[in-house]
Chain A
Amino acid sequence: MIYALCILLFLLGLYGVMVKRNLIKIIISLAMMTNAVNLFFVLLAYRKNGQVPIITNFNTASTVADLAVDPIPQALVLTSVVIGLGTTALMVALAIRLYHSYGTFDITKIRKLKG
């Protein structure tokens, strides 16, 4: 059920990228899509009544292996969030320079390359 909501968020972002005409709205839709995929990845790790996957003096390794939520997707999503940060920064920098070159944020008017 909750995975279907993640896919719905992904599809809403995809709708935004395809239909919207303002550059900033396209950037925000892409950020929404990235968030949807990262959320889906983290939610895969859930285990009912699970514990934190950290080994301390009180939480020995065997209890962590039996009862903890999965730590692998959490580590992977950290990397993915930083990649999304880099992509968004590059897109915003390009949007600023496009505004200074063309004078508008509307993608239907930024069409020097045709054919």
Chain B
Amino acid sequence: MMGMTEIVKTVAEWIKGFIIFYGLYIILQGHLSPGGGFAGGVIIACAFIMIELAFGGKRAETELDEHKSHNLDEIGALFFLFLGILGYFLPQIPFFANVIQLYWPGSPFHILSAGSIPLMNLAIGIKVGTGLYSVFTGLSHYDPLYQEEN
């Protein structure tokens, strides 16, 4: 895949950190203001897609290649599942209850307050971000001569 002109490459290099930071802000403040895991994850994916569009496929592979993004995807999902099962290790807690809220409650409207909800938002953010990036990379790097795609 070909990249773009010099101006686009320079600006993309400078802005990508800010975009990832903004995405993390939306994920972590998901229990206080609109946003949450899905929207923040899409913004993080957009940062990596911007790098791929500006520089071409080879540079994007050095930052985050297919196997690493697939593994991060699975780790995000396993983390979410682990947060759901957490109650089983403690007595009498139903599945998917907000265990952290019961044992370490925070004061309302602070960032460390809603129990396991910010952690769930983080897991969803990782999963959606890397998932969307894998979809984009898989569709744009499709090579019809490489027959072992399945």
Judged by CB atoms under 8 Å, the answer to whether A and B touch is yes
A18 contacts partner chain B, Cβ-Cβ < 8 Å: no
A97 to B36, CA, bound (A): 34
A96 to B149, CA, bound (A): 13
A93 touching B138 in the complex, CB below 8 Å, given contacts A54-B33, A56-B109, A57-B109: yes
A97 to B149, CA, bound (A): 10
In the complex, what residue of chain B is closest to A101 when comparing beta carbons? B144
Chain A residues with CB under 8 A of B144 = 100
Interface size grouping (class) on chain A: 10 to 19
B135 contacts partner chain A, Cβ-Cβ < 8 Å: yes
A-B contacts, 9 of them at CB < 8 A, read A54-B34, A78-B38, A82-B38, A92-B139, A93-B138, A93-B139, A96-B139, A96-B142, A97-B142
Write the residues of chain A forming the contact surface with B, with a CB cutoff of 8 angstroms. 54, 56-57, 78, 81-82, 85, 89, 92-93, 96-97, 100
Besides the contacts A54-B34, A78-B38, A85-B132, what 16 more A-B pairs have beta carbons closer than 8 Å? A54-B33, A56-B109, A57-B109, A78-B36, A81-B38, A82-B38, A82-B128, A89-B135, A89-B139, A92-B139, A93-B138, A93-B139, A96-B139, A96-B142, A97-B142, A100-B144
Write the residues of chain B forming the contact surface with A, with a CB cutoff of 8 angstroms. 33-34, 36, 38, 109, 128, 132, 135, 138-139, 142, 144
